[in-house]
Amino acid sequence: MIEVKKRFRVQEKLVPSDKVIFVFTALGTKIGNYRLFVRAMNKRGYSCIVYDYPMSLITDAQIGEWQACLNDVIADAQLRITKLEGMGVNSFASHGSSMGTLFAGLLTRKSLKISHTILNLPYGDVAYSVFTSRPPRRAKEKFVREDVTQEEVASALTFVDPIKTAPDFKNKRILVYTSKRDSVLHYKDAKRTGEALKKHGANLAYIENNRLGHYGSGVKNLLSIKRLIKFLES
C-alpha cells in the first residue's frame, strides 16, 4: 500500500530481516517503476522503503517547497528508522537516483544509522544543474521570470549540495555511479562530486559508464543487484 503524504508518497516493502534500504526515486519516476528492484532486494533479505515526489517540484519551482519536501521526506525516514530499530533492524542503507541522490545524501548526513549510501548519477553543483541542464529548464524559466538568480538558488540549497557538504561524508561508505554520456546531468560536474567525497575522506567506490546515457545507465546501475549487494556487505 502506498502512503500519500502532503509532499511525497512512500511505500514499505518489508521482509523478515534486520536490513533496510531507503530508496529515493528519480523525479519523473514513480514507486511502481522500482518494483523489480524492490522484488530483487526483498529476495536477498533486504526490506525496502521507497519514496517518490510530484513533478510540481519542477513545474512550480518554489525554493521553499523544495526545502520543505526534502526536509519532510528525511523527517519521515528518520521516524521509520527509529521504529524499525525497535523491531530489531540494525542495518540501514540509503539509495538515490538522479534527483533522489539529494535525498539519499541528506539522509546519510542526518542519520548516523546509515552505513552505506548509493548515489546513482548524482548532481554536482545543484544550482548550476538547474540553470544549465535540459530537464529542469521549466524551473529555470520560472526563476528567470521571477528574477531569482542562480546564486540565490545555490545559497538556498547548500544543505543538499553534494560538493559543498562533502566533508560531512568522512568515513562514510559511498558508491557513486556516473555516465560519460549523460546528457541530463553534467558528467564533469557529477565526477566532481566523487572527487570531493574522496578528498574529504569518504570510503568511496566509483563506477563510470562509458557507453550509456542518463536513463540507460541509471536503469543498468539500479538493476546491478549483485554489485549492489557486494557493496552493501563490504
Separation CA 22–CA 10 (nearest Å)? 10
Dump pLDDT digits (tens) for 114-171: 999 999 999 999 999 999 987 777 898 999 999 999 999 999 999 999 999 999 999 9
Domains of the chain: 2-229 (3.40.50.1820)
| All cell numbers assigned to 60 | 512550480
pLDDT in tens, 162-218: 999 999 999 999 999 999 999 889 899 999 999 999 999 999 999 999 999 999 999
The CB-side HSE value for 139 (13 A sphere, CA atoms) comes to: 23
Query: What is the model's pTM?
Result: 0.96
